[in-house]
Amino acid sequence: MLKSIKKAIWPITLVSVIIAVPFFIFGILQAFQVTQGAMQEEETANGENRIEERSEEIEEVNDGGHHILTLGDSLARGTGDEEGLGFAGRTVQKLDEFLDVPIIHDNYAVEGFRISEMLELLNNNEFQEELQHTDMIMISIGGNDVRSIRGLPASEWTEAYQNIEEGYQEALEETIRRIREANPGALVVFLGLYNLDYSDESPEETEFLLRWNAITYQMIEKEQDFVWIPTYDLFQFQLTESLSPDLLHPNGAGYEKIANRIIEVIMPFFTD
Amino acid sequence: MKLYSLVGNEVFKIIMKKRLWVIVGILIILIGLFAYGEHYTRERTQSQIAERLGIDDVDDWREITNQQLLDLERRLDNPFIPEEGRASIQVRAEQLRYYLAEDINPTTFSAAQFMSNFMEQSIFLFLPLLIILLASDIVSKESTTGTIKLLMTRPVPRWKILTSKLLALTILEMIVILLMAVIALGISYITFGHGGFREPVITGFRVVNGELDASNIQTVSRGTYIFMTYSLGYIVAFSIGKMALMVSVLVKSTAASIGIMMSSLIGGTFLSFFISDWEITRYLFNVNLRLTDFLSGDLQPVEGLSLSFSIGVLLLWALAATLVAFGVFSYKDILD
């Protein structure tokens, strides 16, 4: 009995290895294919086609209708909204109810965007064309810039904040210039920041945030047809009801409040 | 004597020597511990997430995943997202769709995930150690016990003896990889409950000009991914085994043989950290052991590496070691 088991060891080993060899070859070939496979070119063409189609559509609607653009970070994108609309989508929806003309809304916001990244997008030539045909631009930006100090030790905050603020001011000036260059007549709605830490004791951060809002307010309101929409007070006493489960982005109710405020401010611009 | 029966004899000797069973024992104990640890960590993370979000039930994952998928799909509508970003959004969306369709909570762990993680974590140290354990006494033990003299008196040429040992080792290296796969699968299936072999895994990163290029990323099923990682593991096992064989020919005592291999394995890794900007470090075998990192896209400690370069370096080391082993074994004097 034992002898026959001993005899079987070698054949069993050999057979299992022979069976396994094709799988190993398959695995290695797959690994090579995956790490140095050919580039996919068609995707790029798709992207360009989309842009072209879009601008044709916009031109059609533009006689008589309105084209609205949204730019910026996850707030502009609508992250956290159960209906996926965000303040931008909700504002457009309300506008659509009031006005009797077709509205096209394009949302080019990207989660995590900082102002420098938004500026890059504005500098894109194709995007400049898109800007020319726009009646209103909604922007939410800066939250990711100011939040980046959180990764640093508290002792370095003041200095880091000042650096970020300087860069932000320059970039904001450039943003305003870019928009006006391409489109002198559009209404620009710029969203203020709200505080995420009403519950936490962090007076330093609140101070930075208020300063940030004040600077933005001053720079935005200087310009013709630029409006700054405060959101700080909207969340002050009802943070939990207005935030999504990630405790960072507003939920549907939070976005609804922002949209209501925007509508109140911009209605005259469209009904005149 | 025919080479076939010589190889069979060598395989039989190694298995009967119980070295392989020590390896099986180590694998069962370690994989059991890892699986338990992973299970424990996951459970804790889940309860922490539930606590933070203020929900009692983690079953809310469907809602959250749906929301994430919605966000991703809407981002794809944006024609101004760079191509690289678009590719990564698409593959992430594909993963989320899989979780929703298969009704799998993305925060739970699957047996398949454990299998590929285990190989990714062991390919650069644990797997080489197992192979060293297996291979280091293959010739030196014959010297220690004196059986080498008996071998030499047989009418078999020396090269044939070493060739049979080499082939036996090559076969057993594969057996070790297979054992790793079987034991990891068995234990993790008991621990985590579901297989998850069809889950899409993100891969396809490439190193272009020393930087990670994600414009070509794609998904493969977890099953394919496991085949890839374990096959790459075999390349590492193959190369380390040949080096261990060479050392085993060079020194007489098994303890010295294991010691030399282990210290060069660990020492070389340290060395590559200290002089990582020195170009020659990329030709050390230690730096090239992390083959699976090319699949998962984790950055390499030394720039200028690619999958084919690393495999090439490992095979060169194996070839050089084999040549040295044959050269020395064919001509060395056998004293005492």
Find residue B211's DSSP bridge partners.
Answer: B208
Question: Beta-carbon neighbour count of residue B244 at 10 Å?
Answer: 30
Distances (CA, A) of B247 to A44, B124, B137, B252: 53, 19, 9, 9
A198/A206 Cα distance (integer angstroms): 8
Both structure tokens of A33: 């294919």
3-state secondary structure B117-181: HHHHHHCCCHHHHHHHHHHCCCCHHHHHHCHHHHHHHCCCCHHHHHHHHHHHHHHHHHHHHHHHH
What is the per-residue pLDDT across B108-167, written as a single tens digit (0 to 9) for each?
788 898 999 999 999 999 999 999 999 988 888 887 777 777 777 777 888 888 999 999
Which 8-state DSSP code applies to residue B107?
Answer: T
B14/A130 Cα distance (integer angstroms): 73
Check CB contact under 8 Å for B175 and A16.
yes
Both structure tokens of B249: 């020919």
Give residue B166's identity as a one-letter amino acid code: L
What is the per-residue pLDDT across A170-181, written as a single tens digit (0 to 9) for each?
999 999 999 998
Check CB contact under 8 Å for B12 and A9.
yes
Residue whose entry in the numeric block shows the structure tokens 């459970």? B43
β-strand B218-221 against B200-203: which pairing, if any? antiparallel
A179/A49 Cα distance (integer angstroms): 24
B235/B315 Cα distance (integer angstroms): 8
- Rg (C-alpha) for chain B, rounded Å, is 24
Give the DSSP letter string of chain A. Answer: -HHHHHHHHHHHHHHHHHHHHHHHHHHHHHHHHHHHPPPP-HHHHHHHHHHHHHHHHHHHHHTTSEEEEEEESHHHHTTT-TTS-HHHHHHHHHHHHH--S-EEEEE---TT--HHHHHHHHH-HHHHHHHHT-SEEEEE-SHHHHHGGGGS-GGGHHHHHHHHHHHHHHHHHHHHHHHHHH-SS-EEEEEPP--S-SSS--HHHHHHHHHHHHHHHHHHHTSTTEEEE--HHHHSS-HHHHB-TTSSSB-HHHHHHHHHHHHHHHHHHHH-
From its phi and psi, is residue B18 left (phi > 0), alpha (psi between -120 and 50) or beta? left
Check CB contact under 8 Å for A13 and B230.
no
**Band (B98; pLDDT cuts 50, 70, 90):** confident
Q: Which of A138, A139, A137, A136 is nearest to A65 (CA)?
A: A136
Q: Which of A92, A128, A55 is nearest to A258 (CA)?
A: A92
What is the per-residue pLDDT across B67-87, written as a single tens digit (0 to 9) for each?
778 778 777 776 666 666 777
On the question of pLDDT at B259 being above 80, the answer is yes
Closest residue to B231, CB basis, from A24, A84, A111: A24
3-state secondary structure of B301: coil
Residue of A9, A13, A248 to mutate when probing chain B, most B C-beta within 10 A = A13
User: Given this model, what pLDDT does residue B126 score?
Assistant: 93
Do B59 and B212 form a contact (C-beta atoms < 8 A)?
no
Section B201-225 average pLDDT: 75
The complex's ipTM?
A: 0.82
Residue B227: its chain A contacts at CB < 8 A?
23-24, 26-27, 30
Helices B3-16 and B19-53, packing angle to 10 deg: 60
User: Given this model, what pLDDT does residue A215 score?
Assistant: 93
| Residue B208 parent element (H or E) | strand B206-208
Q: State how far Cα B277 lies from the chain centre.
A: 26
Task: Please calculate the CA angle A254-A259-A260 and round it to the nearest 5 degrees.
Answer: 100
Check CB contact under 8 Å for B230 and A24.
yes
B168/A11 Cα distance (integer angstroms): 13
3-state secondary structure of B275: coil
Closest residue to A127, CB basis, from B15, B80, B204: B80
Residue A88: its chain B contacts at CB < 8 A?
none
Q: Which of B259, B305, B256, B257 is nearest to B284 (CA)?
A: B305
Q: Which residue has the higher pLDDT, B287 or B297?
A: B287
Q: Which residue has the higher pLDDT, B110 or B179?
A: B179
User: Given this model, what pLDDT does residue B322 score?
Assistant: 95
Question: In the structure, how many helices (H) and strands (E) does chain B have?
Answer: 13, 4
Could you read off the pLDDT tens digit of each residue along chain A, which spans 272 residues? 667 877 888 888 899 999 999 999 999 998 888 887 644 444 444 555 656 666 666 666 656 788 899 999 889 988 888 887 889 999 999 988 888 888 888 888 888 888 988 888 888 877 888 888 888 999 999 988 888 887 778 788 888 889 999 999 999 999 999 999 888 889 999 999 987 665 565 777 788 888 999 999 999 989 889 999 999 888 888 777 888 777 788 888 999 999 999 999 998 888 76
Q: What is the mean pLDDT of chain B?
A: 84
Q: What are phi and psi of B279, to 5 degrees?
A: -65, -30
β-strand B206-208 against B211-213: which pairing, if any? antiparallel
CATH T-level assignment (fold) for domain A58-271: Rossmann fold (3.40.50)
Dihedral Cα B153, B156, B158, B163, nearest 10 deg: -140
User: Given this model, what pLDDT does residue A49 score?
Assistant: 60
Residue whose entry in the numeric block shows the structure tokens 């309860």? B47
Check CB contact under 8 Å for B307 and A111.
no
B51/B58 Cα distance (integer angstroms): 10
Check CB contact under 8 Å for B228 and A30.
yes
Check CB contact under 8 Å for B74 and A78.
yes
User: Given this model, what pLDDT does residue B236 score?
Assistant: 96
Residue B21: its chain A contacts at CB < 8 A?
none
- Residue B82's contacts (CB-CB under 8 Å, 6 or more residues apart) are none
Q: What are phi and psi of A68, to 5 degrees?
A: -120, 135
